[in-house]
A and B are shown apart, each in its own frame.
Chain A
Amino acid sequence: MRDLSLLVQMGFGALLALSVYLPLRCGQLSLATPGFYAIGGYVAALLSTRWPALSGGGASYPLTSLALELLLAALVAGAVALVLGRPVLQLRGIYLAIATIALVEILRVLNLNMAWSGGAVGIFGIPQPFDGPAGYALATGVLLALTCWLCSRLEAMRLGRAMSAIREDELAARCMGIPTADVKLIAFVLSAVIAALTGVLAAHFLNTWNARQGSFDASITTLAFVVFGGSRIWLGPVLGGLVITALPELLRPVGDLRLILFGLVILVGPILFPQGVITPEGLARIRAAVRRA
């Protein structure tokens, strides 16, 4: 039983990191992930608490309703990303980052002021589809495995190669006939959908959802996952998300020093591994070593 719920939160971290990684894969620094994460969470929280028909008659929340929430959250987030993506992705580099931060802030302020979102108190008493953390671990694991599979397939797919080409040189990619605007938009929408799906699971897991879940702080945390783990290959963000989420909890035995140690790790990581802990070159070296052995 021990630490299974930590495993769930680590899974959420890895998923959010992948959501930041996808736009980065085509060179776009988008910090909108927490915004879509919040959208997913609100979809789940609102549907499960305000729509009695969904909760069925039984003691626990039916899995079919959870599946419906996942579907709806993916649709809503995907639609928002599709509409916003076109104009926002015209911006590059730091300007795109600023625009996406603005998006997160606008969503946060909206959620604070709208009557249906419960303001700062948020929505509480969200019903549980699973008996304990084991169910969440399984659901998160499946979602993470699917996302990882998608990301690993991207490396071999035309879309993934187009993304890499845009990251290396957008102008050159366009000259070679890659529809750069479309590719970037697909990455942005995929990123939004992953974040929203994570939000649905997180809302049920946390029992409560409020405007603080999607804040600027969360943007920075998710970016730290990718900076720490590395943004060249999908394994990097996954590792970053898992490790950085787990570290403050695993360091509990050291008591008051734990946040200092945690800060040190975040500081030392990028100094020792400027490209992130996991790079394609590093992986190739490990593979070669394994083959030799």
Chain B
Amino acid sequence: MEAGQRSLPGAALAGALALAAALAACGPRADDLPLQVEGGVPVGAVLSLTSNANAYGQDQQIGLELAQAWHQKRRKADSPGAPELSLRLEDGGGDEATATQAFNLLIDAGVVALVGPTLSQQAFAADPIAQRRGVPVVAPSNTATNIPQIGGFISRVSAPSTEIAPLSIAKALELNPSIRRAAVFYAQDDAYSTSESAIFQKALADKGLKPVTVQRTQLNDQDFQNQITGALRQTPDLIVISAQAVDGGNLIRQLRELGYKGSIVVGNGMNTPNIYPICQAYCDGILIAQAYSPELDTPMNREFVALYKLAKGGAIPPQLTAQAFSAYQVVAEALQRLNKRQPLSQFSLADARKALMAELLSGRYDTPLGEIAFSPDGEVVQQRFHVAQVQMKPGSLNGRFALLP
């Protein structure tokens, strides 16, 4: 009697799970229903608004908000027949499980396309789900290699590190041709930093500069004295860092405090004004390759910069914001073109997703990043990249990414 009672909850649990699974298997499939266009075509976004990746998520959130406002305005002014978009933003946290869950949630809610997730590591987990269910994904910030290769429904507007990272090395050598001894630092427990560092090291080797030392750090490290003294013993005149904003900022500060005077090149993880308060005056002079230039002189970018300045009290937009804006713009314009060809309300949800993906890849887009297009497998094709040098205002926590010619 006693044992029988005890195992009852277990049986109930198993029963409930089996029932849920059975219900799920035979329920109606949202994919076959017509696309819901009442109140705007549903588009989803998954950004890291919490966890320690939120420094990036916040930049991106502003980009999406500006893009929404901009699209609304333009729709009213130029093309009243264009479809309205209704954006649903979900927090993707900083881990795989949360991003996966957010993707599932939005796909089940019937979104026609997804923007996100913030981190490449999350993309490897969440993108295959969208791919299996046939939902177009436009990644605004994944720079690791092999992301668009996850499948035909995955694309990105963020140029991969393989294209961008070597530029800053070349620029550093151009500014100071006497550089002979390069040291490399990277956060070894971070997917982005590890893969970008490999690209940096290859770029150095291509220039005939074999790193004199490679130092590994951890994302949560605060104190880098061991690695720094180890590196400075080799008297480097160029230090190349792949780390995220917080740990990288601290690393630069400590490098300068311990007396390093040479050039510093950093990767995309520190490509946000959020580093200024961390390394403060010591940020001055570091080199970062950019996929976006606020000084790009096109009508689209001028409009974007003006919108950003209005929203943020005169600040200059960072790359992540521009890329998120572009991702939304790509989805909106592709939907608009598709709608012109065949009204969206005539599509079933599954067909709309498929048609949108084809439309998305075939178009050209005049974005704040400049004119972009996609290769057939979803990789961004971007014309221009830039290298910026951080210039801090003396005695303040403010600075800017000054583009180098």
Contact = CB atoms under 8 A, between A and B. Distances in A.
B194 to A, nearest CB: 4
Interface in A1-50: 1-7, 9, 11
B347 interface: no
Contacts of B294: none
Contact of A141 (B17, B27, B91, B95): B17
A258 B96 CA distance: 18
Contacts of B105: 3, 249, 252
A138 B21 contact: yes
Contacts of A148: 9-10, 13-14
Contacts of A238: 13
A93 to B, nearest CB: 27
A279 to B, nearest CB: 14
Contact of A149 (B7, B30, B49, B193): B7
A180 interface: no
Interface residues of B, number: 49
A164 interface: no
| Interface of chain A: mostly helix, strand, loop or mixed | helix
Q: How large is the interface on A (under 10, 10 to 19, 20 to 34, 35 or more residues)?
A: 35 or more
Interface in A129-159: 132-135, 137-138, 140-142, 144-145, 148-149, 152-153, 155-156
Contacts of B5: 287
A1 B194 contact: no
A37 to B, nearest CB: 13
A7 B100 CA distance: 13
Interface stretch (B122-130, B226-234, B257-265, B266-274): B122-130
A4 B129 CA distance: 13
A128 B189 contact: no
A119 B188 contact: yes
B7 A152 contact: yes
Contacts of B17: 7, 11, 137-138, 140-141, 144-145
A64 interface: no
A212 B218 CA distance: 12
B189 A211 contact: yes
A208 B10 contact: no
Contact of B124 (A11, A124, A145, A256): A124
A228 B87 CA distance: 36
A120 interface: yes
B108 interface: yes
Contacts of A141: 13-14, 17-18, 21
A27 to B, nearest CB: 21
Given A142-B14, A145-B14, A1 B30 contact: yes
A212 B53 CA distance: 14
Given A11-B17, A122-B191, A1 B24 contact: yes
Nearest to B99: A206
Contact of A121 (B101, B129, B195): B195
Interface in A239-293: 248-249, 252, 256, 258-259, 287
A189 interface: no
A120 B191 CA distance: 5
Given A206-B125, A211-B189, A235 B25 contact: no
Contacts of A137: 17, 20-21, 24
B29 interface: yes
B190 interface: yes
Contacts of B108: 1-3
Given A1-B24, A128-B132, 16 more contacts: A4-B21, A7-B20, A113-B188, A119-B188, A120-B191, A120-B194, A121-B195, A141-B17, A142-B14, A145-B14, A152-B10, A156-B6, A206-B96, A206-B125, A238-B13, A248-B98
19 contacts: A1-B27, A3-B104, A9-B101, A120-B187, A120-B188, A120-B194, A121-B124, A121-B194, A124-B124, A128-B128, A132-B132, A137-B17, A144-B17, A148-B10, A152-B9, A155-B3, A156-B6, A207-B128, A208-B124
Interface of A: 1-7, 9, 11, 108, 112-113, 119-122, 124-125, 128, 132-135, 137-138, 140-142, 144-145, 148-149, 152-153, 155-156, 206-208, 210-213, 235, 238, 248-249, 252, 256, 258-259, 287
